[in-house]
Structure 1
Amino acid sequence: MHNKAGFFLWNLQQLSIAVPMSRTMKLYPLRFCRPATVYLSWNPKSHLFNNSNYSIQTSNRHLFRTASLFKSNSYTTQTKPISTVTAFEVDKHLCLRKLSLYSKQALISDDGVKKRSVHHETSNEDDFTKETKPTDTDNRKLFQECNSLSDVLDIFVEDPTLPSSKYFSAMWRIAKRMSDDQIRTEKQLMFNHPAFCQLCEQVMQEAMVIYFNQLVSSLYAVVKLGIPQHTLLVQTLLRVVQERINECDGKGLAILSATLEAMEPCKNVDALQAGLRILVDQQLWNIEEIFTLQTLMRCIGKDAPTSLKRKLEMKALRELDRFSVLNSQRMFEVLAAMNYRSIPLLNECSKKVIGTIHGCPLKVLINIMQSCRDLRYYNSDLFRAIADYITVTFDVWKLKQVIFLLIVFENLGFRPVHLLDTFMKKIIDEPDILSMKNITCILHICSSLNHVNSCHTQEFLKVLTSALTGYLFHISSENLLNAVCSLCLMNHFPLAPMNQLLKQDVIQELLTSGDTERNANKLDILDRCLKLDIPHYKAVEFVLPQLPSTPLPSNKKAEQVLSILLGDGYFLKHMWLPHNYQVDFEIRMDTNTNRVLPVSDLDVATSADTQRVAILCIPRSVYCLNSTHPKGFFAMKLRHLKLMGFHVILVNNWELEKLEMDDAITFLKNEIYSPRALPAADNEFNKHMLK
């Protein structure tokens, strides 16, 4: 006892020498952290690799004036009295990273004094580390013996021999295997447990002395368990990680990046993410694990410098030979999280996905396609392989899974013909599986992609119309508008849904509530179809608001070609037609002589001996991906232009821009004077004009 007391007094004396002054501050157990008082002065560029001595900050930047323990909509509010403690500025050498609060060793100084222990003497640092570090057996035992989060807290109260980080890690591992309802109940019990606040306080106290990987594991578990980010516990751990970020190794980088990815932006998170980017830049070429590399790529975010993104791309390309199937599948989401389109990486990963697509979960395939959409990466071979795989295994998937996949295909503009045919046959054979929400989605997909199957289309539309009619008294006005508009795009006009939609009160509701501009655009489409496709239909007249005008394309090269080929007085540009349609160029041809008429003769020309020709300069977006199949709205425009008496010539902008002027003139000459334009024209004259 005398030796113990002497040793304690000696340590107290050394501590008083190292800390000449103290400061008193108010401490709240697990209080909220005011966003305005979080640590703001940390500069990762100047402190990240600074090895000079530092002291524990005693500022109350992480403290709240209130004594509230939690304040959340789903958790009850608890309060604790304010306690006052004295915080000392401790020298760095007195703060040992490998020291646990429950280790059997006493404080050890660096001044050559002999290390003391209650049970034995040791001079080997490895032995010291081995004794203070919990074994994997202890961690497994803690995980296996507990079936709930409260069980872990009970063990913490009975025998708190492990670092506090292990208890939080065990609770997170247990929570991962629970259902959503069960984890919601278990979290409530955890927050109400009397030992929870004590465990949180111990985590904050041990933050400076435990291993760094244990520290970031604690932060990860705390965040994943749903503890509010603005609490003192989370903000303290973030701040300590900032101070100790120099100790981060490859494993720590992976855990830390996964943690930051799951957190909302705030001052401490942003500062730590900036420091992480600097660490990644410094340690990039030492990273060996592909999973760690991908986790870091996800975490650095879209705002990372382009130079860092390029370095990560080079590192990933260097490791391509070591990519597993899972790594290749995951790379799409990783690049989307970075907002960095690396064509070489995406192409190589696409090949691996195509080669190993059988057995791939549908959720993974959907994530890949969504990432391709975000990256504007359109690989028709990849999309076709996914569509063929789903078609072959169609009976395995649920209807809502296939519909969601088709929605992603529609967003990409890709038309999976065989999959859509199989899907239409499924709907025809089993119409009872349709719900109100499914009907609207299915009609939108088929109309947007303009998918017409000669064998099943009419029967398919009848089934959908019959199902839609059954929901007329339950469907909302906007959903009814969407469904009817989709049917109109497909040139199908069922009377019952249209009569219900065209009631005066329904029209008034659509034009005064919800997304009025979007509703007005759809009503405009409906109005065009009623007046052109079924002019005999007596509909209620409705006045639409003024729709915003779209900017007209220049089409300078096409205009130059027409000027050389026909002359300036033989065509009109940017013509507005009835029913709010616009064509880029219009010319008129005499059907008897097959010649282009001057603009001055248009007024005297009769409709019997003239043919109106509309020249449309179109972008790729009006077609389905890598095809010449027009999408829904453009297909409707072509149909209506023909009903108005036009022969339509399509000029692909991207192809015309590549052609030399002579080739472009030849191309348009072939289109204008081709036998397709005027079937009754003299073929000999056409041959002469094409020479």
Structure 2
Amino acid sequence: MSVRLTGEEVLRWVMRTCVQRLPRQHRPPQIQRSLLREFDTGLTPIWRTAGSFQGRLAGQQVNTVRYYCQSKTQDLEAMEAEEHNSIQPVQSPVIQAKRVPFSDKLKECGSPTDVLDLVSLYTATSRRVSNCLTRIWCINKTMTEEQQRVELRLMFEHAGFEELLNTIMLEAGRMRSLDLAYSLLAIVKLGVSPSSRVVQTLLRVSQERLNDFDEKSLSVLASGLEPMKSSPNVDALKEGMRLIIESRLPGIQSVMALQTLMRHMGRDAPPPFKRKLEMKALSMTGQFSLPNSQYMVSTLATMGFCSKPLLDVCCTKIAENVHGVPFVRLLTVLRSCRDLHYRNMTLFTAISEYVVSTLDMWSNKQVILFLSVFEDLGFCAAPLMDAFLERVLQNPQVLSLKDVLVVLKTFSALNHDLREHRQRFVESMTHVLQTYLPKMSSSDLLRAVVSLCMLGHFPPAILQQLLQGQTLEELRTAGGHAHVRSGRRLQIVDLCLRLDQSPVPQELTVPSSALGSLSPTAPTVNSGLVTALRSVVGDTGILQEGVLVEKFYFIDCLISCPLQETEGTTLPERDPPQHEHSQRSRIAVISTPLSSLCYGTSRPRGMLAMKLRHLKILGYSPVTVMENELRSLPEEERAAVLRTQIFPEHQRLQVEEKAE
């Protein structure tokens, strides 16, 4: 529908549009005061003022105004578009700079001092001071340690920093909950003393307004409280947050907020509260993304809470999408599993197979870190170790001293079967070690020798360096637990040199003074195991409890039977023992925990493998018995299982007799 306007109405509309399109600073004062009133009271006042501001349009492009009579009509929207094109005021750069929002200027700051300089040019509001602190913290996180040290010193010396903190104390009561939480987090992360007035003010205000905090604000506040030491205000706020979270737990919808609260509030929380957090997390597992699953595993490790159902869900998701997880996060997940004493064969196998299939994209350092954490977990990733072994043998010189020590420890502790590569591997590692001998510490040298001895290799040059008086003196004078560990490791070296018939000069022996007077450990023998063994042995043999061999190896039970009693028994091949008890068969029953075996297998780990090897050399027939298996069986079944393990040939004969 067309709109017909009189000439006066058209002129009034044109003048209104012209004035409104001018910046406020270019409008005449009289128009600014009476713009709307004058337009509506008639044409005469507007016309008078219209000529008076022509001089103020210097530098502005103003076209001739068109007048429309009553007989010639146009659509109102078309007229507005035409007038918009006819009047285009050109703003100067100064005016444009003044109109840039504060948030955009803040994003352009590249250092904390830039932020402080900027905030001094604007009116300090609660939002601005909070955003400035957060921006300073974000800038600081991206810097190197040296840059952080310099920039933080300049920030603390800047006059605007103290003014900013004073403004925060004044505006704290008017801040939004989220701004309050972010301000506290940024101040704490920037290194402001927790006992300072500004931090204590934020803590008290947070206590007063805790009921107003939503789940995001609570999670940010929890992050800020996490690094703070115990104090009355901190403890009171933490307790209040725990009560708030416990009451609002059913209504939390954000997985990330829940994980943050679990991470920072669940560490010192009582077990019932941890279980409530666990149940809430389990109810939200359907919302877990891949990053959520990774972060949940590390969160549980931070809490020190091993929730097997939650870990199973997260690890299964990670194993199914292992190709989409970067190296650092994979390593963090494995280390968290180690800290929680949690084992997951599906996850470990998926990661090891993924690394093997993409071995070319991993550096030696990355593969060694994987192998090291697998060794801590007791998981023997045989395909990965074989693939890495081939790479190392091609160019062993690229390994650093730390790399060599980790590789030797991993392969010896996991008792990995090197097969035909054994001799070449130990010789290559020995050659690399010899190049580092001049700069090796005594403790590193001892660690390397222990690993080589466990692998059955005894390089004379390295042993000679270890057994020098100066090196042994350094080990002896080590204080605290280091001295005890060194003595224990020297005992292992001494045992291997004496029992493994190493082809080294006789003068290369560990002096008794270096071994010290370490008291051997003698753990308590399982009474259920002894009772079951007595029923198995009966009157045909002698049963001894808690036997210590070579002042080092503990045998839970030693069974001495006449040779004819064990004739036909399947025992490991060994040389005929030259001992006074050679007329009797000596069966060493060793109660073995799961930690002594490679996870998911019956393969003994390094120390147990060395113990079994040495007991065979000493003329014993070692038999390992699993602790957890015996503990779960009734007494009658326990005796039957032990009889099968200790006298397998007798058990076979009984079966054959029953069959006949």
- Secondary structure of 1:648's partner? strand
Secondary structure of the equivalent of 1:471?
Answer: helix
Q: Which residue of 2 aligns with 1:408?
A: 373
Match of 2:174, SS state, is: coil
State the match for 2:536 in structure 1.
565
CA distance in 1: counterparts of 2:562 and 2:386, whole angstroms: 43
- Matched residue, 2:120: 157
Cα distance change, pair 344–594 in 1 and its aligned pair in 2 (3 A): closer
Q: 1:618: which partner in 2?
A: 592
Q: Report if aligned partners of 1:165, 1:214 keep a CA contact under 8 Å in 2.
A: yes
- The structure with the largest alpha-carbon Rg is 2
Cα displacement (A) at 1:421: 1.2
CA distance in 1, matches of 2:495, 2:209: 67
- 2:137 is equivalent to residue 172 of structure 1: yes
SS of equivalent residue, structure 1 residue 585? strand
SS of residue in 2 equivalent to 1:207: helix
TM superposition shift of 1:413: 1.2
Q: Which residue of 1 aligns with 2:497?
A: 530
Tell me the residue number matched to 1:582: 554
The superposition leaves residues 415-470 of structure 1 with CA deviations (integer Å, 9 ceiling, x where unpaired) of: 11111112222211121211112221221122111112213232121111001111
Q: Distance in 2 between matches of 1:173 and 1:138?
A: 20
- Unpaired runs of 5+ residues, structure 2, are 1-99, 569-578
The answer to whether 1:518 aligns with 2:485 is yes
Aligned in 2, Cα 1:676/1:636: closer, same or farther, shift over 3 Å? farther
2:27 aligns with none
- Residue 192 and residue 606 in structure 1: after superposition, are their counterparts in 2 closer, same or farther (change >3 A)? closer
What amino acid is the match of 1:274? E
Q: 1:664 to 1:160 in 2, by over 3 A?
A: same
Q: 1:562 and 1:289 mapped to 2: Cα distance?
A: 57
CA distance in 2, matches of 1:149, 1:318: 43
Verify the 8 A CA contact 2:113 2:155 in the aligned structure 1: yes
Structure 2: distance between partners of 1:411 and 1:426 = 22
Structure 2 letter corresponding to 1:622: S
Aligned residue identity for 1:580: F
Give, in whole Å, the separation in 1 of the partners of 2:141 and 2:589.
61
1:200 pairs with 162, 165, 176, which one?
165
Change (3 A) 1:674 1:140: same
The 8 Å contact of residues 589 and 595 in structure 1, kept in 2 or not, is answered as: no
**Are the counterparts in 2 of residues 139 and 166 from structure 1 also a CA contact under 8 Å?**
no
Partner of 1:547: 518
Contact 1:168 1:218 in 2 (8 A): yes
- Are residues 218 and 648 of structure 1, via their aligned partners in 2, closer, same or farther at CA, if it must alter by over 3 Å? same
Residues 1-32 of structure 1 show CA distances to partners (whole Å, capped at 9, x for unaligned) of: xxxxxxxxxxxxxxxxxxxxxxxxxxxxxxxx
Which 5+ residue runs of structure 1 have no aligned equivalent?
1-136, 597-604, 678-682
Which amino acid in 1 is paired with 2:534? Answer: S
How many angstroms does 1:689 deviate by? 11
Partner of 2:611: 637
Opposite residue 315 of structure 2, the aligned amino acid is S
Determine the structure 2 residue equivalent to 1:663. 637
Number of residue equivalences: 542
Letter in 1 for 2:188: V
Contact 1:149/1:171 (CA < 8 Å) preserved in 2? Answer: yes
Higher relative contact order (CA 8 A, sep 6+): 1
1:311 is displaced (CA, Å) by 1.7
Return the alpha-carbon distance in structure 2 between the equivalents of residues 610 and 570 of structure 1. 10
1:332 CA drift (Å) = 0.8
| 1:575 and 1:584 in contact (8 A); partners too | yes
Aligned equivalent of 2:602: 628
Helix, strand or coil for the counterpart of 2:324? coil
**Cα distance in 2, alignment partners of residues 185 and 171 from structure 1:** 14
Q: Which of the two has greater helix per residue? A: 2
**Is 1:231 the equivalent of 2:196?**
yes
Pick the aligned partner of 2:175 from 210, 213, 219. 210
Which residue of the partner structure matches residue 591 of structure 1? 563
How many Å separate the matches in 1 of 2:297 and 2:484?
35
Displacement, 1:234? 2.0
Deviation of 1:281 after TM superposition, in Å, equals 0.9
Does the C-alpha gap of structure 1 residues 670 and 632 become closer, same or farther in structure 2, counting only changes over 3 Å? same
Measured in 2, the distance between the counterparts of 1:384 and 1:685 equals: 41
Q: How far apart, in 2, do the equivalents of 1:461 and 1:332 lie?
A: 37
Q: Return the offset for 1:471.
A: 1.2
**TM, length-normalised to structure 2:** 0.77
Which residue does the alignment assign to 2:146?
181
Distance in 2 between residues matched to 1:167 and 1:667, nearest whole Å: 71
Contact 1:220 1:256 in 2 (8 A): yes
Residues 685/504 of structure 1: CA separation in 2 closer, same or farther (3 Å cut): farther
1:145 aligns with 2:112: no
Rounded to whole Å, the distance in 2 between the matches of 1:614 and 1:348 is: 42
CA distance in 2, matches of 1:307, 1:141: 47
Q: Could you tell me which residue of structure 2 aligns to residue 26 of structure 1?
A: none
Contact 2:525 2:556 in 1 (8 A): no
Output aligned runs, 1:88-487, within 5 Å: 138=101, 140-163=103-126, 164-487=129-452
Displacement of 1:230 in angstroms is 3.2
Instruction: Please give the alpha-carbon distance, in whole angstroms, between the structure 1 residues aligned to 2:372 and 2:231.
Output: 35
Give the direction of change, closer, same or farther, for the CA distance of 1:452–1:271 in structure 2 (3 Å limit).
same
What whole-Å deviation, never above 9, does each CA across 1:524-544 have from its counterpart, x for those lacking one? 101111110126641242322
**Residue 206 of structure 1: how far off its partner (Å):** 1.0
Shift in Å at residue 518 of structure 1? 0.6
Structure 1 residues 606 and 169: alpha-carbon distance in aligned structure 2, compared to 1, 3 A threshold: closer
Report the CA distance between 1:372 and its aligned residue. Answer: 1.5
TM-score by length of 1: 0.74
Question: In the aligned structure 2, how far is the partner of 1:195 from the partner of 1:424?
Answer: 59
2-side partners of 1:191 and 1:642: how far apart? 69
Q: 1:292 to 1:628 in 2, by over 3 A?
A: same
The alpha carbon displacement at 1:475 in A equals 0.4
For the 8 Å contact 2:125–2:171, the answer to whether it is kept is no
Change (3 A) 1:608 1:572: closer
Q: Distance in 2 between matches of 1:637 and 1:487?
A: 15
- Percent sequence identity over aligned pairs: 37
Judged with a 3 Å threshold, the aligned counterparts in structure 2 of structure 1 residues 342 and 684 are, in CA distance, closer, same or farther, namely closer
Give the conservation status (yes or no) of the 8 Å contact 2:525–2:545. no
Residue 592 of structure 1 deviates from its aligned partner by 4.4
Which amino acid in structure 2 is aligned with residue 525 of structure 1?
I
Match for 1:477: what amino acid? S
- SS of alignment partner, residue 433 of structure 2: helix
CA pair 608-219 structure 1, distance change in 2 beyond 3 A: closer
Instruction: State how far apart, in whole Å, the 1-side matches of 2:286 and 2:654 are.
Output: 63
Contact 1:670–1:690 (Cα < 8 Å) also in 2 = no
For residue 391 of structure 1, give the secondary structure of its aligned residue in structure 2: helix
Instruction: For residues 218-266 of structure 1, give each alpha carbon's deviation from its aligned partner in whole angstroms, at most 9, with x where no partner exists.
Output: 1112122233333322222222212222221122112111212243444
Structure 1 residue 348, shift from structure 2 partner: 1.0
